[in-house]
Amino acid sequence: MTARGTEITEQLVARRYPQLGSLNARRIADFSGGNARLALALADALPENVSLAGLSDEELFERLFEQRHESDNNLREQAEVLSLVYSFSTAEDEEGVNELAVLGDLCEVSARRMARASNTLLERQIAQQRGRWRAVLPHAIANRLAADALQHIPVDEVLRTFEGNARERLLRSFSRRIGFLHTSPQAREISRRWLQPDGLLHKAMQLNELGAVMLENIAPIDCENVLQCFESQKAEILAGAKDIYKRTEVRRAISLISKVAYEPELFDRAVSLLLEIADEEGREARQDGARKRVQAFFQIRGSGTHATLQQRVDVLEACMADGDRHGLALDCLASSLKTGSFENTILAEFGARPRDYGARPFGEEAIAWLSRFLTIADQMAFSHDVSDRKACRGIIASQFSGLWGIEKMRPMLIELAGRLHADGGWLEGWRAVKGKLHYDKSRSSREGKAAKDDPELVKLGELLAPSDLEGQVRAVALAEGHRLFALDEEFDLDDPKKYEASGKRLAEEAFRLGQDVATDSAVFDAVVDDLFEQSHAPNRIAFGRGLAAASSNRRLLWEKVTERIKALGSANFDDCVLSGILREISQAEPALAQKLLDEIAEDELLRRRIVGLTPADNFSLEDFQRCERVFYAIGLEMRGVDNLLWRDNCSAISREAKVRLAHSILAREGGAAVLLRAFSMMLHRTDRSIDTLGPELRASAIQAAAIVIGNDDSDPGGTRDYDLEQVLNSALAYRGTDAEEKQLLDDLFSTMERRYGFFPHFEKAIQVIARWRPDAFLERLMAYASRKEDDDIHWIDNSLGERAPLDAVSAAELAAWCGRGNDVRRWKLLARAITVFEDDKEGGMRLSEQARSLVRMCPEPEAIIENFGLHLTPRSWSGNRSVHIEQRAAGLSELLRFEDSRVVTATEKLLCRAANIADQEREREQEEDAEREQTFE
């Protein structure tokens, strides 16, 4: 039973021991801190008709410890020493260390007497056991006894015992116990010694695994001492923040410093150190990084600190004034206005210190918090700095929905929205209001309620709605994001195609706005620089089409737009508006469109985008040749060159032209992967009975596959393996590419050589090669295996994925290959390269059909069965691996029914070996279980 609150514990005690009365039950529950097990043990130790009102906590503890027995000072002394460690063993470990003897030295008694004391504590239910492990529990008792032990035994003697005589496990356990004793002067002294310049744990960035665990264990004892330790090593921590090999040490430092920041009196110093670490980490916001931790301190819930509001405001304002930390300050400001979806990055547990997840402002305190940070955002939203204005207006808008849900915040929001609207408009706010109205309406619909708009919110939306052309363009045509349907006044929740219909209506509106802007030069000049921001704004193409549709001089329009792009001075920009303009020009003035595309092909900045800018409708040979010329000039700098081989709009281009381009792509560095992606897309959803690629492209495809497989690049997402699988399945289905196939196998096994037989990438591609060219693949594999030790071909023993390399090859084909060589080594090799075991319907394992067939066909079955043993132990599993080994052994048992005595004899031998392997694995698992049992967690 565990702590579940004093009220529940009080009820439990009153029900179990009604004779004690309600007042005693309440006193017991309060004393136990809500720990039901402790409370029941105390209640059981009390005589009837006793009053606890006049007893101190010390007297209650004595009653709990003695439990109607006579006072025993020796037992008490021994219990105190046993409590100094989190857990202890009652038996010698593998190295002959007796932990009871080590602990007994502290109270000058033998290991036998310490064992007797341990058993007495078990009988009194103030200790627990798991196997050979014991622990004094609950912690409230153990901590009290341990604190008394430190009072009675000199600190020097305690340290001499645990640092000199005890093994690492006992030292770790001791550090964990004293981590709960933050009120003990002796524990604080030990912590001080360990963290002082010549102490055991001072060099926090150089600790081994034991030291790291001990540092985390003792950190709760004296938070200021820990912080001073990290401050003294600041230079090393900051240097480590840039070193990938020191990431673990830096992460540990960040975690402990963040926990220290819980205390208001240490918050400023802790945050100062975290900010310096964040400076060194850069803008990368790792979940366990300093930047994220600092940002979390500004949440109204789950901040992990009880720092005052003013402390947090001071940190925010200091960061705002620091140019290097300005971006972090904006992130913190956004966190401070959140009213939900909080990120909990700091655990509340910290030794025995009473902690929660940080301050939790409620009621007026919460209003004061939100009002204070909203005021800061308000001031910055009217800043002279354009980037600050935009960022803070966006922050307020992003948190508008949650803030609006707090009724007392509405007047401030309405007043602020009015001022923002008067100061150039607040389109982000209008979109936020529309989003809130849409959400409320959708929720009402889901709940089966009649939709009813909030009149205040409707009125605010009307106020913020863009009234001029520029505002409407920014609000609709340049609107960013994926949920723009909230802006659609005609959005119909009951329409099954509501999102598609809404997108079409908004695109039509953007087209009309483009037409209006085409005749209003002032608005055009006001919005033109914002047309190319790198963000997802789905209506930009429609807006560009509208511009061109209503323009009286489309050539001049194009020149004005491209001049503005070049004035930005960056090669990174969004080209959707350009694409829209060209699409419309190609419809209205095809000759002009072709001329502009010719100019793009010669333009240093725009030519790399020519594939995407060329209108897809009526894509001609001339368009293809233009793109091809650009590719010859700049190579893979040209974006989307692969589209020229597979897009539907390129279907009219001749095969000869595509072959020519494919050869050119393949000749470029990095072109093989691009070509594979193009062929993979070309083959998507095609009829595999048709030779879609044709002879020339098939040859190029296999060449590209050989290059990709021959490279040492990893494939973490599996996309290249997918492309290889699709392309090789098509290319190898036909003959006529012998030279390319030889190169493919050469590169595959050459890579195998370089990787010492370990080849985790492109597993599906290898399976495809083996399926379509089994003989060639197996001959290469046999040659490779003949030159290598067994350990160097372990990649075929157990597939790291779902299927083994030869799974797609029939048993008949495999047997035929083996028969041609007349060499038993071939059969043994196959036994390694197939999937031997598969799941059966009853949840166990059985032999695969391929394995059974090979046993029947093999002239020397005992050789192949012996190699089945390589598959007994899985590389990945859930639960106990010994169980999986036994299940696979059970699957082998069906071979005992074969008539061939050689099969039966070999199987019996393997089953005996499997039993030994399972026993060894079970012993290992038991050792791991014993290790876990020490923790009593």
Could you read off the pLDDT of 889-927 as tens digits, one per residue? 999 999 999 999 999 999 999 999 999 999 999 999 887
Average pLDDT along the chain: 88
Distance CA 921, CA 909 (A): 19
Question: Which ranges constitute the DSSP H helices of 687-773?
Answer: 694-710, 719-731, 738-754, 763-772
Q: What is the mean pLDDT of residues 143-149?
A: 94
Whether a cis peptide bond, with omega within 30° of 0, leads into 361 is: no
What pLDDT, on the 0 to 100 scale, is given for residue 65?
78
What pLDDT, on the 0 to 100 scale, is given for residue 798?
43
Positive/negative CA dihedral, 670, 674, 679, 680: positive
Q: CA 537 → CA 510, 533, 564, 583, 757, distances in Å?
A: 11, 9, 19, 18, 49
Q: CA 179 → CA 135, 183, 218, 228, 353, distances in Å?
A: 16, 10, 4, 18, 9
pLDDT-derived band of residue 395, with 50, 70 and 90 as boundaries?
very high
What pLDDT, on the 0 to 100 scale, is given for residue 223?
94
pLDDT-derived band of residue 171, with 50, 70 and 90 as boundaries?
very high
pLDDT of 46 over the 90 cut:
no
Q: Angle CA(441)–CA(447)–CA(451) in degrees, nearest 5?
A: 30
What pLDDT, on the 0 to 100 scale, is given for residue 617?
84
Q: Angle CA(659)–CA(660)–CA(666) in degrees, nearest 5?
A: 85
Q: Which amino acid is at 860?
A: E
Per the CB < 8 A criterion, the answer to whether 392 and 383 are in contact is yes
pLDDT digits (tens, 9 = 90+) for 572-616: 999 999 999 999 999 999 999 999 999 999 999 999 999 999 998
β 133-136/127-130 pair status: antiparallel
CB within 8 Å of 528: residues ≥ 6 apart: 560, 561, 564
Q: HEC profile for 167-235?
A: CHHHHHHHHHHHCCCCCCHHHHHHHHHHHCCCCCCCCHHHCCHHHHHHHHHHCCCCHHHHHHHHHHCHH
Distance from the Cα of residue 728 to its chain's centroid: 33
What pLDDT, on the 0 to 100 scale, is given for residue 75?
92
pLDDT-derived band of residue 800, with 50, 70 and 90 as boundaries?
very low
pLDDT digits (tens, 9 = 90+) for 328-371: 999 999 999 999 888 765 666 788 888 888 899 999 999 999 99
136 phi and psi, to 5 degrees? -75, 120
Q: What is the mean pLDDT of residues 659-687?
A: 93
Cα distance from N-terminal residue to C-terminal residue, the chain = 13
Counting Cα atoms < 13 Å in the Cβ hemisphere of 184 gives 27
DSSP symbol at 609: G
pLDDT-derived band of residue 449, with 50, 70 and 90 as boundaries?
confident
pTM of the model: 0.76
Distance CA 126, CA 56 (A): 20
What pLDDT, on the 0 to 100 scale, is given for residue 1?
38
Per the CB < 8 A criterion, the answer to whether 929 and 133 are in contact is no
For the ranges 149-153, 345-349, 484-488, the lowest mean pLDDT is seen at 345-349
Distance CA 830, CA 870 (A): 12
What pLDDT, on the 0 to 100 scale, is given for residue 900?
92
Q: Which amino acid is at 387?
A: S
pLDDT of 3 over the 50 cut:
no
Percent of the chain with pLDDT over 70: 94
Q: CA 323 → CA 320, 328, 474, 855, distances in Å?
A: 7, 10, 29, 73
H/E element, 839:
strand 837-839
Strands (E), 107-158: 127-130, 133-136
pLDDT digits (tens, 9 = 90+) for 839-876: 888 888 999 999 999 999 999 999 899 989 888 888 77
Per the CB < 8 A criterion, the answer to whether 285 and 334 are in contact is no
pLDDT-derived band of residue 56, with 50, 70 and 90 as boundaries?
confident
What pLDDT, on the 0 to 100 scale, is given for residue 213?
93
Q: What is the mean pLDDT of residues 463-482?
A: 89
Which residue has 């597993």 as its token pair? 763
What pLDDT, on the 0 to 100 scale, is given for residue 285?
60
pLDDT of 792 over the 50 cut:
no
Per the CB < 8 A criterion, the answer to whether 459 and 510 are in contact is no
Distance from the Cα of residue 86 to its chain's centroid: 32
For 119, the token pair is 């058993």
What is the DSSP annotation of 889-915?
HHHHGGGGG-S-HHHHHHHHHHHHHHH
Distance from the Cα of residue 259 to its chain's centroid: 22
pLDDT digits (tens, 9 = 90+) for 497-509: 888 998 899 999 9
